[in-house]
């Protein structure tokens, strides 16, 4: 355990107080490990840059301008989901009519935010710097101002046109806005320090009301205003949606030239070493985590209504619901939960293309009809020419990413992927949603590298995210029956864990119909939920039934619509930390996929321009973007296109 | 009194009939799960967990048709057209004979035809009596009101006479087809040259007064408005109040392929489920609501069992009408598969005959080979 005292700098606004609360109290290890000073946001950044402090609560845009790679403390941020109240555009005339907007020099991130938002609405005012104290007095005629901090509380009532930028951001991209994070050089914070910082926030959240009232008193603000602000307007976590919001902001800031390049979000290490790679035959038994607790005294109805309200289910709770809750009750509860997570009535979908770069595979899963063992005449690896045709077509059809997956081909080393990714990035404006835990562990084995090592190289070459395939059922007993040569449950999870820690987003999946029991299903969900608690890296969960045609697996298990809807609804209730659930129309058909939007789903998946693997085994539905939009509207939602991190894309 | 969802819930709880405005409000209610939950309650109050199916097969003796319904691919088919087919009596009888020879436990034949202008009336009576000769206890559910009305005009008899003669020859009940949407505005556009609403209802009223039971249907998802759907259902409800002769209501989803209305998109899954739920709530006096899997697809039908439906139509071998219109569902489901689908939906299968007498109860159905109920997985599997 380190005893080094760390120097910290944090902003002195009200919204940061809960974060620093425990540190300020300085009891026990808090006092021994930390030395905290307060300053303006830009000063905090300078102190970190110069090395005068080890960690600083800095505006998120500064991550890109420090000139050195920084790591972030996981789980802590200053963020908002919708109106933030302390970042406002005020003016006498509407935004579109403004010729200048005065920028309060105190926050670069807010400045970038308003520039991004202006551009998105087609407004092009001049942005002029102004002193923190002089900003308001210049608001007349077509001159507006960006107001931040305490001054914004009052300013809201003093002008005819007031736009809350947190709200405007959410409307534009459908994600939270992250304003500030704890950051430092990669060696700045050890695991104990990280854990203390999180404890400090936890104490601050508990004491929010007191903090708010104390602040109100000393700054002559209304106490209720401050209490509401800290409870509702500011969010402090750095969960999956916040991470997406932060990435979206940095990407747009870079695209608009406001920062040099969007940095990858990397986290301080929790000191946990990477688990060795195992296959289902070599893996020791893996205990099922306990990310929630059970409520054996709650009735089924009580469990349903509590889960609908976001109260976490234990594994036995979930099993009881699976067994006893009626299908429509389960669906209705999941529907309520979905609506509280996504209250904008939007269902997203993405336009992308599945490109299976090779069908040569040594894993030979029994449930797959797509693979070809090496040296078969009908095995292929796509040429650059073939890939060009597919990628160009994707761009022409308004696709935004490639889901790039293939078999485990022993002739393709890491260098192949690096070259491929670099080539894609150099030639096509497409995101690479690529590979899978199984492919990555195979590359690691071929190259004798760690999982983390391989993933780092792939990210360098252009990998943007990893699809959640290859999970099937996360239980080695089942996996041994259906794909005995495949990676173990633990390795699947470990690849995702390492990827998340390196800032990659991934999806999580489940395929059912392999003779698994309800307990297997719940354990699978539990593995995903516990990992999400650790890393917040999953964007969405998707499940579908095993497609049997032409495969070697002659199971006759229940893969009917009601089972799909029940498992889907249960997943929505259980995976309380997964922002989105995608329906599976390619396997279930668009009608059932649509119904699943009312059983907890908020995303219609992909208008995939090509799909090879599952359709070989029997599922042959095809939908255009127009079809998808019709199904979404008929279900009562507004369809919107998104990218991988669930950022809304502009409507054309 | 203004209609709110709560006011509708109260009426349903007190078992009061819903109004036209209530029906329209239910179709517009944004939360389809609430509508489904309410319909499910009514379904369970009437039938508990029981879900009915029967063993039947279809005979479309002729698909030649003088009418030109725009949603049907039989429209205006003439004798001699490549797709036209009129069975000989032997051919039709042979379909039953083959099943009897195989000892198939089928309990119903469902017979519907195009409107053929060159067959004699005896074709139909001979068809029926021949079938009854082969299997006297088979139930024959035959001829939609459209056909009955057409025969009365074409052969110069009253509707009552037509029904009496067919009944004497072996027709035991009437299927519900041909109703489409009662509103004239819609009929004028999609099926102008067959019987109108009053005529359709007259046939069923006459049949009911003769002691015959029948089904009724509604074709939704063409050009009708929500108001027209509600009006259609309420007219059926009114006739039921008079005669009590309807057994089952079957909402039929429009299928857009291979017919003149191909450009319309057809209803989606959520709309299907909503229509089922609203039907269950509006038609409080019609005992059964059937999800016809041939149209809806197996998956949506299964889901509909939680949105008001208590019946999954039968094994339906050799269905032609929908499949010529492009239905991609299987042409037949064995009764084992139907049982499995129902159990895996969480419901109790009950085999019935046409008049809803129980043929086989749940326990017997599920304990038979080749099933194994896996309590751990909470599913029913077919054991190979």
> What angle do the packed helices A489-501 and A451-461 form, to 10 degrees?
50
Q: Give the pLDDT confidence of B342-375 residue by residue, as tens digits.
A: 998 999 999 999 999 999 999 888 876 556 666 5
Across A634-646, b (16+ Cβ under 10 Å) vs e yields bbbbebbbbbbbb
Query: Is the CA virtual torsion A515, A521, A523, A524 positive or negative?
Result: positive
Q: Is B359 helix (H, G, I), strand (E, B) or coil?
A: strand
**Both tokens of residue A351?**
């336009």
Q: Would the CATH topology of A87-168 be identical to that of A315-641?
A: no
Across the A:B interface, residue pairs with CB atoms under 8 Å apart total 108
| 8 Å CB contact of B303 and A636 | no
Average pLDDT over residues A476-499: 94
Q: Is A252 on the interface with B (CB under 8 A)?
A: no
Mean pLDDT of chain A: 92
| 8 Å CB contact of B268 and A631 | yes
Average pLDDT over residues A23-32: 92
Gyration radius (Cα) of chain A, Å: 25
Closest CA to B210 of B154, B255, B165, B180: B165
pLDDT at residue B364, rounded to an integer: 87
**Both tokens of residue A68?**
């050195």
Which of A56-70, B28-42, B254-268 has the lowest average pLDDT?
A: B254-268
Q: How far apart are CA A622 and CA A598, in angstroms?
A: 21
Q: Is A316 on the interface with B (CB under 8 A)?
A: no
Q: Is A308 on the interface with B (CB under 8 A)?
A: no
Q: Which of A321, A521, A595 to mutate to test the interface with B (most CBs of B within 10 A)?
A: A595
For B36, the closest chain A residue by CA position comes to: A328
Q: Which of A325, A328, A332, A556 to mutate to test the interface with B (most CBs of B within 10 A)?
A: A328
Residue with tokens 């879900």: B51
Name the residue facing A634 among B268, B344, B379 (closest C-beta): B268
Which pairing describes strands A6-11 and A603-606: parallel, antiparallel, or unpaired?
Answer: unpaired
**Both tokens of residue A244?**
């997406």
User: End-to-end distance of chain B based on CA atoms, in angstroms?
Assistant: 59
Mean pLDDT of chain B: 90
Q: How far apart are CA A79 and CA A77, in angstroms?
A: 6
The domain spans of chain A are 6-80+177-255, 87-168, 315-641
Q: Give the pLDDT confidence of A277-325 residue by residue, as tens digits.
A: 999 999 998 999 999 999 999 999 999 999 999 999 999 999 999 999 9
pLDDT at residue A470, rounded to an integer: 87
What B331-334 contacts at long range (C-beta under 8 Å, 24+ apart), as own/partner pairs, is: B333/B293, B333/B298
pLDDT at residue B326, rounded to an integer: 53
Q: Which residues contact A523 (CB under 8 A, 6 or more apart)?
A: A288, A315, A474, A475
Average pLDDT over residues A324-332: 96
pLDDT at residue A465, rounded to an integer: 96
Which pairing describes strands A580-582 and B213-220: parallel, antiparallel, or unpaired?
Answer: unpaired
User: What residues does B253 pair with on adjacent strands?
Assistant: B220
Query: Is the CA virtual torsion A140, A146, A148, A152 positive or negative?
Result: positive
Q: Is A117 helix (H, G, I), strand (E, B) or coil?
A: helix
Closest CA to B19 of B238, B188, B201: B238
**Percent of chain A topping pLDDT 70:** 97
pLDDT score of B330 more than 70:
no
Q: What is the DSSP letter of A264?
A: P
Residue with tokens 């970042």: A87
CA distance B182 to chain A (A): 24
Name the residue facing A634 among B270, B307, B378 (closest C-beta): B270
| 8 Å CB contact of B300 and A327 | no
| 8 Å CB contact of A560 and B299 | yes
Q: Please report, to the nearest 10 degrees, the dihedral formed by the alpha carbons of residues B180, B184, B188, B189 taken in order.
A: -60
CATH number of A6-80+177-255: 3.40.190.10
Q: How far apart are CA A465 and CA A537, in angstroms?
A: 10
Burial (CB < 10 A; 0-12, 13-18, 19+), residue B260, is: middle
Class of domain A87-168: alpha beta
- Topology (CATH level 3) of domain A315-641: TIM Barrel (3.20.20)
- Contact assessment for residue A292 and residue A527, using Cβ atoms and an 8 Å cutoff: no
CA distance A322 to chain B (A): 9
Q: Is A589 on the interface with B (CB under 8 A)?
A: yes
Q: Which 3-state string (H, E, C) describes A330-390? A: HHHHHHHHHHHHCCCCEEEEECEEEEECECECCCCCCCCCCCECCCCCCCCECCHHHHHHH
Residue with tokens 């999180």: A198
Residue with tokens 């760690």: A450
Domains in chain B and their CATH numbers? Answer: 5-382 (3.20.20.70)
For B307, the closest chain A residue by CA position comes to: A328
Across B98-115, b (16+ Cβ under 10 Å) vs e yields ebeeeeeebbbbbbbbbb
Name the residue facing B270 among A562, A589, A598 (closest C-beta): A598
Alpha helices in A309-361 (DSSP H): 315-324, 327-341
Which of A357-361, A431-435, A526-530 has the lowest average pLDDT?
A: A357-361
Q: Is the peptide bond before A418 cis (omega within 30 degrees of 0)?
A: no
**Both tokens of residue A135?**
């900003």
Q: CA dist A517 to A164, A322, A493, A568, Å? A: 49, 11, 21, 15
What does B190-230 look like in DSSP terms, one character per residue?
H-TTS--HHHHHHHHHHHHHTT-EEEEEEEESSS--HHHHH
Q: Which residues contact A239 (CB under 8 A, 6 or more apart)?
A: A536, A577, A579
Q: CA dist B105 to B55, B100, B101, B139, Å? A: 7, 8, 11, 12
Q: Give the pLDDT confidence of A384-414 residue by residue, as tens digits.
A: 999 999 999 999 989 999 999 999 999 999 9
Closest CA to A10 of A80, A58, A77: A58
Q: Give the pLDDT confidence of B48-101 residue by residue, as tens digits.
A: 999 999 888 899 999 999 998 988 877 778 888 988 999 999 999 999 999 999
pLDDT at residue A565, rounded to an integer: 96
pLDDT at residue A620, rounded to an integer: 62
**Percent of chain B topping pLDDT 70:** 89
């Amino acid at each position: 355990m380190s005893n080094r005292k760390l120097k910290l700098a944090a902003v002195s606004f009200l919204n940061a107080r809960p974060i620093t609360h425990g540190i300020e109290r300085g009891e026990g290890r808090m006092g021994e490990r930390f030395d905290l000073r307060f300053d303006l946001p830009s000063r905090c950044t300078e102190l970190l840059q110069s090395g005068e402090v080890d960690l600083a609560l800095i505006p998120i845009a500064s991550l890109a301008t420090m000139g050195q790679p920084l790591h972030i403390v996981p789980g802590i941020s200053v963020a908002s989901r919708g109106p933030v109240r302390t970042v406002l555009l005020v003016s006498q005339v509407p935004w579109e009519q403004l010729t200048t907007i005065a920028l309060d020099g105190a926050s670069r991130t807010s400045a970038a935010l308003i520039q991004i938002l202006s551009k998105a609405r087609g407004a092009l005012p001049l942005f002029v710097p102004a002193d923190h104290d002089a900003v308001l007095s210049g608001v007349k005629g077509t001159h507006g101002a960006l107001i931040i901090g305490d001054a914004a509380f009052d300013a809201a009532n003093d002008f005819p046109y007031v736009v809350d930028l947190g709200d405007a951001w959410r409307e534009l991209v459908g994600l939270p806005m992250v304003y500030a994070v704890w950051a430092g050089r990669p060696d700045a914070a050890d695991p104990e320090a990280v854990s203390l910082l999180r404890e400090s926030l936890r104490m601050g959240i508990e004491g929010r009301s007191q903090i708010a009232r104390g602040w109100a008193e000393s700054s002559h603000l209304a106490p209720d205003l401050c209490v509401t602000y800290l409870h509702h307007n500011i969010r402090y976590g750095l969960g999956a949606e916040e991470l997406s919001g932060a990435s979206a902001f940095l990407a747009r800031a870079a695209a608009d030239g406001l920062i040099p390049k969007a940095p990858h979000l990397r986290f301080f290490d929790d000191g946990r070493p990477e688990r060795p790679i195992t296959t289902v035959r070599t893996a020791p038994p893996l205990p099922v985590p306990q990310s929630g607790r059970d409520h054996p005294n709650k009735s089924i109805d009580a469990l349903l209504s509590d889960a609908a309200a976001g109260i976490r289910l234990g594994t036995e709770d979930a099993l009881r619901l699976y067994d006893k809750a009626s299908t429509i009750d389960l669906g209705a509860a999941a529907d309520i939960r979905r609506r509280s997570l996504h209250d904008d009535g939007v269902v997203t979908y993405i336009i992308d293309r599945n490109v299976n770069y090779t069908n040569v595979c040594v894993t030979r899963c029994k449930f797959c009809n797509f693979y070809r063992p090496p040296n078969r005449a009908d095995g292929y690896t796509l040429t650059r020419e073939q890939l060009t045709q597919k990628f160009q077509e994707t761009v022409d059809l308004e696709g935004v990413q490639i889901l790039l997956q293939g078999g485990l081909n022993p002739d393709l080393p890491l260098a192949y992927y690096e070259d491929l990714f670099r080539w894609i990035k150099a030639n096509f404006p497409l995101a690479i949603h690529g590979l899978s835990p199984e492919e990555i562990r195979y590359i690691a084995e071929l190259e004798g590298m760690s999982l983390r090592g391989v993933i780092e190289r792939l990210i360098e070459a252009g990998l943007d995210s990893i699809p959640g395939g290859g999970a099937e059922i996360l239980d080695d007993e089942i996996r041994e029956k259906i794909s005995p040569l495949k990676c173990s449950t633990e390795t699947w999870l470990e690849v995702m864990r390492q990827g998340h820690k390196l800032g990659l987003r991934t999806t999580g999946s489940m395929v059912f119909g392999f003779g698994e029991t309800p307990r297997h299903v719940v354990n699978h969900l539990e593995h995903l939920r516990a990992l999400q608690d650790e890393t917040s890296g999953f964007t969405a969960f998707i499940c579908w039934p095993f497609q049997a045609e032409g495969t070697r697996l002659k199971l006759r298990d229940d893969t009917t619509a009601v089972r799909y809807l029940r498992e889907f609804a249960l997943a929505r209730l259980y995976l309380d930390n997964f922002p989105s659930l995608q329906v599976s129309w390619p396997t279930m058909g668009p009608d059932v996929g649509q119904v699943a939007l009312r059983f907890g789903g908020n995303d219609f998946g992909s208008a995939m321009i090509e799909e090879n693997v599952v359709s070989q085994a029997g599922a042959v539905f095809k939908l255009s973007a127009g079809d998808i939009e019709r199904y979404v509207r008929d279900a009562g939602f507004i369809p919107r296109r998104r990218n991988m991190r669930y950022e809304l894309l502009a409507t054309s | 009194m203004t209609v709110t969802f709560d006011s509708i819930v109260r009426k349903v709880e007190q078992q009061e009939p819903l109004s036209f405005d209530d029906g329209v409000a239910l179709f517009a209610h944004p939360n389809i799960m609430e509508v489904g939950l309410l319909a499910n309650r009514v379904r369970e109050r009437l039938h508990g967990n029981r879900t009915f199916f029967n063993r039947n097969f279809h005979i479309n003796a002729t698909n030649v048709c003088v009418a030109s319904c725009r949603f049907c691919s039989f429209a205006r088919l003439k004798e001699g057209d490549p797709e036209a087919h009129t069975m000989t009596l032997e051919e039709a009888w042979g379909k039953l004979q083959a099943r009897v020879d195989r000892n198939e436990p089928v309990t119903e034949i469902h017979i519907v035809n195009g409107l053929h202008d060159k067959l004699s009336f005896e074709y139909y009576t001979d068809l029926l009596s021949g079938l009854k000769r082969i299997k006297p206890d088979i139930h024959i559910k035959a001829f939609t009101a459209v056909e009955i009305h057409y025969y009365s005009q074409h052969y110069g008899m009253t509707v009552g006479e037509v029904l009496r003669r067919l009944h004497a020859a072996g027709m035991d009940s009437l299927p519900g087809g041909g109703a489409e949407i009662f509103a004239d505005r819609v009929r004028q556009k999609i099926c102008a040259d067959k019987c109108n609403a009053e005529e359709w209802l007259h046939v069923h009223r006459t049949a009911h007064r003769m002691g015959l039971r029948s089904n009724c249907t509604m074709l939704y998802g063409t050009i009708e408005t929500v108001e027209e759907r509600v009006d259609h259902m309420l007219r059926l409800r009114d006739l039921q109040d008079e005669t009590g002769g309807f057994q089952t209501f079957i909402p039929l989803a429009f299928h857009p392929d291979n017919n003149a209305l191909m450009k319309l998109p057809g209803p989606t899954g959520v709309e299907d489920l909503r229509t089922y739920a609203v039907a269950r709530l509006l038609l409080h006096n019609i005992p059964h609501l059937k999800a016809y899997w041939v149209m809806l697809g197996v998956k949506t039908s299964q889901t509909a069992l939680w949105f008001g439906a208590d019946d999954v139509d039968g094994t339906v071998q050799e269905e032609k009408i929908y499949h010529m219109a492009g239905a991609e569902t299987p042409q037949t489901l064995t009764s084992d598969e139907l049982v499995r689908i129902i159990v895996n939906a969480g419901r109790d299968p009950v085999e019935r005959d046409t008049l809803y007498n129980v043929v086989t109860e749940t326990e017997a159905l599920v304990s038979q080979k080749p099933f194994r109920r896996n309590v751990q997985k909470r599913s029913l599997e077919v054991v190979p």
